[in-house]
Structure 1
Amino acid sequence: MLKSFKKTSIFSIAFIILIFLFSLPANGAEKSMRAVDVFDELARQSGNQTAYARLITDNNEAWYARWHMISSAQRTIDVTYFIIKDDVFGKSMLGLLLRKAREGVKIRLMMDARGSGELTKIFAGIDYLQELLETPGVEIKVYNPMSVSLRRIFGDIRNIVLSNHDKILLIDGELAMTGGRNISQIYFADPRDCEKVYRDADVFMKGKAVAGRMKQAFDEEFNSHQAFKVKRELFGNIVPRAEELEIARRAMLAHISGMDLSAYSASTNLHAKEFARTLSKYKHMRSYQSYRPMSGLHPYPVVVLDKHSRRGTRNDITPGIAALLKTAVKEVIIQNFCIILSPEALSDLKAATDRGIALTILTNSPKSAENVLSQAFFLEDWKMILSTLTGSRLFAYDDDRQLHSKIFVFDGELSIVGSYNMDYLSEQINSEIAVVIKSKEFAKRASLRILDDINKYSVEYKIVKGSNGKITANFGPESHTDAKKIGLLKKLKALGFLKPLF
């Protein structure tokens, strides 16, 4: 434990030193410091790790990659998600984990109580977890269960929303994945098959050193005082769930492999019928057998950035992004689920645009987003953001689908992919995970994906400054969003005092 703490402290101190150096007046060598130099120093501090890496933006591929990773496990599986739904994706993944556990693979599973409420409820969803616990070598924990967060709310109201927002999948100490996706239909279905699916991004990696850093991030949250162990019930489940999970696994594998599901449809088992009915909607999710995750991969320098929840001590991500903003020399491109900027985040972005850095931001609009409170705050702030960040461009998703990816690209060479949103929750409350990849090729693909989203699915918000200094909207949320929804958001702006919880 002490060794882990020392590693954490050394890495955090490296960030503090960097931020201190970059806050000094620029002269001489300091003036030429670039974002890539910041990366190189962080890479040196963490052991100059490299990994084969792939950016995954396609929903079907994202599911294939997870299925492949878990199926290939021989020794260990570590997995944590903010949301694991009890739909066919969540149940089939649990079924696959159960199968691997019975093969002797050691499994550690953690899910957040707020995000995965359906599977963490006593006498309901917890039954599915109990089936895994019947097998030796399985540990399951729930992060910040409601019974705990309610007791702690009187100390700080933020404890009620405190979550493990990490998305980590680790296999055999070598394969790793993180990004924005949780486990649910909306993250993996093809938009041609399901209208309301999300637009998201993950990074798949192969490399023992990087997987080791990801494991450290996983361990620190899994072993924290916020994670509570799900205990095996003395008499087992009253309603057995193992068969249901196994049917979900077999039906999912058959479907994504292009096999016929008529046997499931004709079955007398109600679960089999329901899984067949649901899976039949995903007509474009049928090519798993030809999926080759390692094809065309290249090794890149990688730095893993971790952040504990507000009750922990580590935060590599927030100061890391600040340092890269301070030292970018040309452009910064951000694609993010939501933009609810703290004064500190706004100041970091302003420092970049004041130096002439070309800043492009793509986020959700009230039309695409589901969270009305976060959009109420965005409706209040967007004109101020454009006014403050001189020369920046702000684009909003003009689509019924929700944008959920969290990508940052600096100077066409550094890319950040992870779970970190540009809001108070990620910055100050939740645990988060991200990786920084140094590669012009990788950055180009990330940038092109964002620019494609801008060109095909987005609108640009613009303001006009009058001679009296008054700022008005040239084109904004009200220009392309249903008037009824805008009316609701304007009423909700009265709840602005809740912004630090979003």
Structure 2
Amino acid sequence: MKLWARLLLSGTLILLAACGTYGRKNGALPTVGFVSQETIAHACRQHTVHRQGTAGFEMLEDGRESFLARLAMVEAAQHTLDVQYYIWRDDVVGTTFADRLLAAADRGVKVRLLLDNTTDAQLEVRSAALAAHPNIRVAFFNPMTDLKGIFVGNPIPVIGEIDRMQSRMHNKVLIADGTLVIGGGRNLGDTYFGIDRGHNMRDLDFIAAGPVVEAAARSFQLFWRSPLTRMGDQTKITDRDREKLSDLRKHIARKKRALATRSGRPFPLSLSRAESLDTLHKIVSRMIWAEYEFVADPPERMLRQGQVASPIWRKIETAVRKAKSDVVMHAAYFIPQKDTLELLRAATARGVHVQVLTNSLASIDGVAAMAGIANRRAGVLDSGVSFFELNAHAADRQDYIHTRRLTPLGMHTKGFVVDNRLSFIGSFNMDPRSKYINTETGVIIHSAAFAARLKSYLLKGLEPENSWRITRAANGSFLWTGQLPNGQRAVRRIEPGASLMRWVEYCIYRCLPWEDLL
């Protein structure tokens, strides 16, 4: 959507919320005003998933391996597949998984799809024909009344629900047969796996086996059974919907082949059971078994009023507060507010070397978020942090992009290492939205061996040929220092590589007082 349309929409939603109450779809909760905050707080305490134990972990930094791991889990599943995502794009990745999940259901696997309602999922995934499959259940979290026409997909809040309108189920979890789980940063879309024709992002997932799978399954179950989840009404499925299921199979298969051909078929569209088991065996054999803490926000977080920090943030805060020597972090949307800046300042004051990589204006997928990052640059540098922004034409982008032609590179990673022993991978961005608004998941792994793997990946992003280091000139202005492809040192006085249109949009966003929503 163009900038002027987004600005108009924002103003329109606020006006509509102030002027009246709108009808709600069946199954939606009453307005926040009718629910006791004490009751909500109690439910949040009861439903926050925080499990500790020992389990096996491997990181998935390459989009191809991350795609194949997911595909192999779906193809090898014999009993159940639980799939929880914020974004499910209408592209090669989204269509391939719609096709293979349908195939899994055809062979008897019970499939549950749980999607956030504020972002449109692929039409085939939303279709009544898919929901008509006896082995597939599709549910949407946080449903509200939807606008129609030009505003389709943008929920109108009733009075008292502006906060809830902003809330998103940002979780990304895939669980197969209760034995393996993939979690982390990637949504289901080409850009997160390096095969989009216009823009791709380096991202990060974990795959795990052992008791941590039970923790992830408990979180999924809490969302699945939540009153905030709208389940398809099986009694309303018609014979016509069931008849359309056969047509849907053929349509998805044709669409998958057409999209893949157009993209150059960078990834397999299916795997045999033998290929799937071999893929998973190779990944599982690399796993490091270590103590962990799995943390997931409760679904009732959507109904909290006021700024109540996520339990995931509290674990991150504790890890940084206890740091003794070193913190290396990738945060795709790094917008630290006052308390976070104080936390970082205290760490650097006691001698901790803190390094943070985030997106640049040229690399980021959302210019609004970049305005928040830019507005915090001074505070981050003043806190003593070594601050870096991703080079959209990084030398290592060929490691993450699997298209015929290299595209600009962004980042969607959420991970860090503390003192070479504690690692975090999850869906949590270091921004106000993750801290106060969205629901998120994350895992903390206590292992020097795993930390060494993750830190190597993180440090690669900080190399001068892959990122711009932000410093200050004598007059207080910002400098971007990096390395050109020919090896020469480069210094820029304005955000490097951004187009004029991005600049204009960026400048407008920087003037708007909405950092708390970024």
Give unmatched runs, 5+ long, in structure 1. 14-41, 120-124, 250-269
Decide whether aligned partners of structure 1 residues 242 and 323 sit closer, same or farther in structure 2, where only a CA change above 3 A counts: farther
2:374 is the counterpart of 1:373: no
- The structure 1 residue matched to 2:157, chosen from 127, 152, 159, is 152
8 Å CA contact retained: 1:78, 1:108: yes
Partner amino acid, structure 2, of 1:500: D
Note the C-alpha offset of 1:457: 1.6
Root-mean-square deviation (CA, aligned residues, Å) is 3.0
List aligned pairs for 1:430-441, cutoff 5 A.
Answer: 430-441=438-449
Note the C-alpha offset of 1:329: 0.8
Note the C-alpha offset of 1:271: 3.6
- Could you tell me which residue of structure 2 aligns to residue 203 of structure 1? 206
- The structure 1 residue matched to 2:219, chosen from 217, 220, 227, is 217
TM, length-normalised to structure 1: 0.78
2:95 is the counterpart of 1:91: yes
Note the C-alpha offset of 1:184: 1.0
- Could you tell me which residue of structure 2 aligns to residue 265 of structure 1? none
The SS at the match of 1:486 is helix
Share of identical aligned residues, percent?
24
Partner amino acid, structure 2, of 1:168: V
8 Å CA contact retained: 1:158, 1:501: no
Partner amino acid, structure 1, of 2:358: T
1:326-373: CA deviations, max 9, x gaps? 111111111011111222322222222222211100000101012111
Structure 1 CA distance for aligned equivalents of residues 44 and 66 of structure 2: 30
The SS at the match of 1:478 is coil
- The structure 2 residue matched to 1:109, chosen from 107, 110, 113, is 113
Structure 1 CA distance for aligned equivalents of residues 322 and 257 of structure 2: 57
2:252 is the counterpart of 1:280: no
List aligned pairs for 1:263-412, cutoff 5 A.
Answer: 271=255, 274-282=258-266, 289=275, 291=279, 292-308=282-298, 309-311=301-303, 315-387=310-382, 389-390=383-384, 392-399=385-392, 400-412=408-420
The SS at the match of 2:56 is strand
8 Å CA contact retained: 2:91, 2:189: yes
Note the C-alpha offset of 1:166: 0.1
Partner amino acid, structure 2, of 1:205: A
The SS at the match of 1:109 is strand
Give unmatched runs, 5+ long, in structure 2. 1-40, 147-153, 393-407, 481-491
Partner amino acid, structure 2, of 1:431: T
Decide whether aligned partners of structure 1 residues 329 and 244 sit closer, same or farther in structure 2, where only a CA change above 3 A counts: same
2:184 is the counterpart of 1:184: no
Decide whether aligned partners of structure 1 residues 77 and 103 sit closer, same or farther in structure 2, where only a CA change above 3 A counts: same
Decide whether aligned partners of structure 1 residues 287 and 351 sit closer, same or farther in structure 2, where only a CA change above 3 A counts: farther
Deviation above 6 Å: which 4+ runs of structure 1?
Answer: 5-8, 10-13, 283-288
Aligned length: 430
Note the C-alpha offset of 1:419: 0.3
8 Å CA contact retained: 2:323, 2:352: yes
Q: Which moved more, 1:73-82 or 1:305-314?
A: 305-314
8 Å CA contact retained: 1:340, 1:422: yes
- The structure 2 residue matched to 1:457, chosen from 463, 466, 469, is 466
1:17-66: CA deviations, max 9, x gaps? xxxxxxxxxxxxxxxxxxxxxxxxx8xxx4x5222211000111011000
Note the C-alpha offset of 1:8: 7.3
Structure 2 CA distance for aligned equivalents of residues 319 and 339 of structure 1: 17
Note the C-alpha offset of 1:408: 1.4
Partner amino acid, structure 2, of 1:480: P
Partner amino acid, structure 2, of 1:294: V
8 Å CA contact retained: 1:195, 1:401: no
2:63 is the counterpart of 1:59: yes
Note the C-alpha offset of 1:380: 2.0
Note the C-alpha offset of 1:239: 8.9
Partner amino acid, structure 2, of 1:301: E
Structure 1 CA distance for aligned equivalents of residues 421 and 231 of structure 2: 41
8 Å CA contact retained: 2:414, 2:428: yes
